[in-house]
Structure 1
């Protein structure tokens, strides 16, 4: 053996392991001597012994498997091997004296990758073993790369979601900064919307509107419902008393301001990009816009800013409407004390079919204890509030 040959041999650490399974000692010896220069070689003289070896670590990288063996033939061995997650990807080459096409087809159907017929040709054995091991190495490398890519995609998606959620919270907090008496209103109302959405997700009237990720979008967008309060003058927004009728008319414009601002942001980005499609990345912002714009609409058409009625009100806004009112009633304001939970519930129920979608109120009734738990767990330390 030349010096160059020594350098081309794999190190002991890099050597692949081959399991030879044959009940004939002479075949085990012949194949072992032929392969041991390049590979680690293990041997099993029966199907049962082969399964024991395959179940132990380190597992072989390739199996040379005799077809005709007593008690458990090669077909049964490969069938069991392919049933186990730990061994199903180990390549198998059948070694056999049978040359009928039907026998070869049966072995290939069970998962064998190649056939070597007896008597053995050393060159063919080495070539086919090397070819299958190279293919396995390539498959393993591709699987590792795919797994890395999947993890990287998951990491990037999670990172983007965190950035989006952070951006939403930051925008929602802009309104909080100006209206310091909003306390935990954003967190509570988001929880109420989530409770209602999950209760209604299988309801015939709501299933389509809450499918395909839209339920999650509604929950994430809920904190932006009052973003339009940024556009309300301080004299009105921060007034430490009840608003006059004229001031309340100005306050009511916050819904249109918020909805229009988000919609305008979408349009400007699309215009800059030369696109028209508002699905995908923009669908979340569309949901946020409709919540901000329509969450003060009422089921009977007496709400604002448009006066939509019934099913014309987006589902997201119908959920937000009840959540917002429940929180406003159950929390204190500078001009009122909080209603008791019983009184709050009574007012919500009275709004069924007038202020609120009847089915949304029914969902609230079914989940009333969850609402009460959120109200208690997220109660403001200083119970002050301005609607």
Structure 2
């Protein structure tokens, strides 16, 4: 039995003759440790390392087998060691009690050497199989985690590549996509902390919002250069064309969803809602659909404030960069008209985070 030659069996029995008999049965195939009582058994385990299996007598002085088994199963370090009761107590109630304490088997005396060897071998083989299955599951989990990490990395690279494509056509944005990405995360986390929109906000969805936020202006790739890059304010007619970037972005992301077969939990859904709805206003005067209140997707409402704030603190051809306090006052003026009041409250709570993010990713 080479495959179990290194296994260690601890035999616990207060009768020397029983120890001699059991050791004689096992010693050709296993390393055998002996203990004459429960306290000595605990000492052996402490000094000699964890055995692979314990053969345990029940009727012993000071600490019987039942008590020792309870102690072993109560400690995380020893609770997984298989325990087999070996006893002259052959009543069903004795066996039931032993098994209920966590023992894996119960052998009655007088013992049969063949039965002892067979049961020990089977128990150890089962233990090896369970350990191998656990290791396989851990390796599988590591593989899945690594694949998930790779998918997220690919998504993030793709998102930033697409967002950068839109950014290169609007050379005034600079680090706009990075700043707004962190503004969105700050707002979503604060809304969750304050107990708002708990049916929509959780750690997973906030991560999806964070990763998809850079795509909010992806529709700008469909806006003509003469309008997108105009060195001055747009005419009303030109602004109507500029407004098309919201539905254009949503349409592109809907097509992407259909192409890759993404489910409703996809980050593309958040990206689609953000792209289409980040210019909607709480009072219904926004575009492209004129949605009002909570009919506007939450992701769009969050991005609306993040986008406006960043536009206010950024320099444009037609305006200087406003300081934080000026931008804050304009946000507050739009409370309940342009912006969701709960999101404005969240903004006030995390405004230092906005200041720090703007400084860290300044143009």
Give the shorter-chain TM-score range. Answer: over 0.9
Task: Provide TM-score, normalisation by structure 2.
Answer: 0.95
Instruction: Give the distance between the partners of 2:3 and 2:259, measured in 1 at CA.
Output: 61
Question: CA offset at residue 130 of structure 1?
Answer: 1.1
Instruction: Give the distance between the partners of 2:255 and 2:141, measured in 1 at CA.
Output: 35
Say whether residues 1:332 and 2:315 are aligned partners: yes
Instruction: Give the distance between the partners of 1:105 and 1:268, measured in 2 at CA.
Output: 60
Give 5+ residue unaligned stretches, structure 1: 1-8, 271-276, 381-387
Are residues 250 and 56 of structure 1, via their aligned partners in 2, closer, same or farther at CA, if it must alter by over 3 Å? Answer: farther
Structure-2 residue corresponding to 1:6:
none
Give 5+ residue unaligned stretches, structure 2: none
Structure-2 residue corresponding to 1:190:
181
Q: How many residues align?
A: 363
Say whether residues 1:259 and 2:229 are aligned partners: no
Instruction: Give the distance between the partners of 1:169 and 1:161, measured in 2 at CA.
Output: 12
Of 167, 174, 177, the residue aligned with 2:165 is 174
Are residues 365 and 75 of structure 1, via their aligned partners in 2, closer, same or farther at CA, if it must alter by over 3 Å? Answer: same
Of 331, 340, 351, the residue aligned with 2:334 is 351
Say whether residues 1:102 and 2:93 are aligned partners: yes
Structure-2 residue corresponding to 1:298:
281
Give the aligned CA root-mean-square deviation in angstroms. Answer: 1.8
Residue-by-residue CA offset, 1:200-221 (whole Å, 9 max, x unaligned): 1255651112148323222221
Residue range with higher mean Cα deviation, 23-32 or 225-234 = 23-32
Indicate the SS of the match to 2:2: coil
Instruction: Give the distance between the partners of 1:379 and 1:180, measured in 2 at CA.
Output: 14
The aligned runs of 1:347-386 (5 Å cut-off) are 347-380=330-363
Question: CA offset at residue 64 of structure 1?
Answer: 0.5
Structure-2 residue corresponding to 1:77:
68
Instruction: Give the distance between the partners of 2:209 and 2:3, measured in 1 at CA.
Output: 58
Question: CA offset at residue 17 of structure 1?
Answer: 0.8
The aligned runs of 1:192-341 (5 Å cut-off) are 192-201=183-192, 203=194, 205-211=196-202, 213-270=204-261, 278-280=263-265, 283-341=266-324
Of 108, 111, 116, the residue aligned with 2:107 is 116
Residue range with higher mean Cα deviation, 201-210 or 112-121 = 201-210
Question: CA offset at residue 29 of structure 1?
Answer: 1.6
Structure-2 residue corresponding to 1:165:
156
Instruction: Give the distance between the partners of 1:288 and 1:141, measured in 2 at CA.
Output: 42
Instruction: Give the distance between the partners of 1:27 and 1:106, measured in 2 at CA.
Output: 22
Instruction: Give the distance between the partners of 1:379 and 1:242, measured in 2 at CA.
Output: 24
Of 109, 112, 124, the residue aligned with 1:133 is 124
Question: CA offset at residue 265 of structure 1?
Answer: 2.4
Question: CA offset at residue 141 of structure 1?
Answer: 1.2
Indicate the SS of the match to 2:143: helix
Task: Provide TM-score, normalisation by structure 1.
Answer: 0.89
Indicate the SS of the match to 1:137: helix
Indicate the SS of the match to 2:11: strand
Question: CA offset at residue 56 of structure 1?
Answer: 4.5
Instruction: Give the distance between the partners of 1:122 and 1:205, measured in 2 at CA.
Output: 68
Segments of 4+ moved more than 4 angstroms:
202-205
Residue-by-residue CA offset, 1:16-57 (whole Å, 9 max, x unaligned): 111111112222121112111011111111111211222345
Are residues 321 and 93 of structure 1, via their aligned partners in 2, closer, same or farther at CA, if it must alter by over 3 Å? Answer: same
Indicate the SS of the match to 1:69: coil
Are residues 94 and 172 of structure 1, via their aligned partners in 2, closer, same or farther at CA, if it must alter by over 3 Å? Answer: same
Indicate the SS of the match to 1:302: coil
Question: CA offset at residue 66 of structure 1?
Answer: 0.9
Structure-2 residue corresponding to 1:385:
none
Instruction: Give the distance between the partners of 2:79 and 2:239, measured in 1 at CA.
Output: 71
Structure-2 residue corresponding to 1:384:
none
Residue-by-residue CA offset, 1:224-248 (whole Å, 9 max, x unaligned): 1000111111222222333333322
Instruction: Give the distance between the partners of 2:165 and 2:175, measured in 1 at CA.
Output: 14
